Amino acid sequence: MHDTLYADALLGESFREIRHPSGLTIRVLHKEGYKSSFALFATKYGSIDTRIEQSDGSFAVIPEGTAHFLEHKLFESEDLDAFERFAKTGASANAFTSFDMTAYLFSAASNFKENLEILLDFVQSPYFTEETVRKEQGIIGQEIRMYRDSADWEVEFNLLRALYHHHPVRIDIAGTEQTIAQISADLLYGCYRNFYNLHNMVLCVAGGATAEDVLEVADRMLRPTEGKMAQREYVPEPCEPKQTYIEERLPVSTPSFALGYKERIPSPERSAKEILCTEIALEAIAGRASALYTHLLEENLINTGFGSQYFYGFGYADCEFTGESADPLRAAEEIRSAIAAIRKTGIDAQSFEQARRKLYGRMIMRFNDVDDLAVEMAQTFFAGNSLFDALELCRTVTLGDVNARLGEILEEDSTALSVILPAGAEG
């Protein structure tokens, strides 16, 4: 068993990374004095994994939405489902499927070992039948229809459909009613065997629990498996968006918009430095202390819900500016104009330092939230990073680094605009 301690002396925090004999990697960040603990058991299998690697190295298509469907089904068993088991111990349990991973989690102030045993047990105990699969198809079909009425959801996925030609990130995480109808019990078992082998997973715990607490349960519950980290097929994307404008009408009172800048990516994954420099640039350009944010607010083109994000993963990356606006087309034009001007002059030293300090402060504050810590430990593990890499980069990054990165992103010919308008509105 390989056991490594990672520490950040300035922050005064550390975590242990243990390579368990079963093949699972375990990360534990113990916080002295904390009563509650948060545990997350995750696999590198998300909605973008719509093709599964075969024994000969080729990839076979699987239905869109399978990862999310499998997440739902894994809570079931022949006896009590996992939620009922957690309810008896007083734990709060949940799960989620993102573009890049699926995670099962619980938070508890007591009975940590008992809850961890439940978590490791049900995730390693799949139970699917054709009857229960058919029932779940109806349930998830309703969920898909419900999200179609959500302006926040639709404005984002419409943007992704406009930006990307081929990449599966453009597909709703839950898939479609047509694709989930293709899912069978045998298919779920096949995907489970491929993606839920312990070599493709990580267990992350943050809070009052110690590494010894975790290992006591892991040594009893983990069943050694053969396997490896799942390989993803790289889907090349054209540099330009599929379309520059997409519009939908929903029963909302105020229009909303999402303006995206597709990134030209020479390799499928972004480095920690590229990510940090992009996030600093976006904060300097459109954060609440920026001239652009003040201008848009004064012109009544946005409200305080306006924000930006760097949206990235395996084979995709774009910068997004989102919010509500009575005039979304003009708001988008003002944002484009401001970005074009800043790309010519570069970000100034004051804006850079202000943005860098703000992001650094957010990173430090995150260490007070064990939920966020466990999720971030999983995300950084799958990205091949330490939990502290971004902190160290934020201490040493320079204005030159950020302006050099600015020259690689936010190109005018890479934009697409998604707009949600009130149903029945004219013009």
Catalogue the active-site residues.
71
DSSP 231: P
Cβ of 133: how many Cβ atoms within 10 Å? 18
Return the SS3 of 185: helix
Query: Tokens at residue 218, please?
Result: 């892991």
Query: Which residues have CB under 8 Å from 270's CB, separation 6+?
Result: 278, 312, 317
Phi, psi (rounded to 5 degrees) for 39: -120, 140
308 DSSP β-pair partners: 321
Q: How far apart, in whole angstroms, are the C-alpha atoms of residue 415 and residue 245?
A: 9
- Alpha-carbon distance of 30 to 14, in angstroms, equals 8
Closest CA to 374 of 26, 2, 91: 26
Rg of the chain in Å (alpha carbons): 23
Helix (H, G, I), strand (E, B) or coil at 280: helix
Q: Which helix (H) or strand (E) holds 104?
A: strand 102-108
How far is the C-alpha of 93 from the C-alpha of 117, rounded, in Å?
13
Question: 308 to each of 228, 358, 415, how far by Cα in Å?
Answer: 36, 14, 14
Instruction: Please give the structure tokens belonging to residue 359.
Output: 């992001």
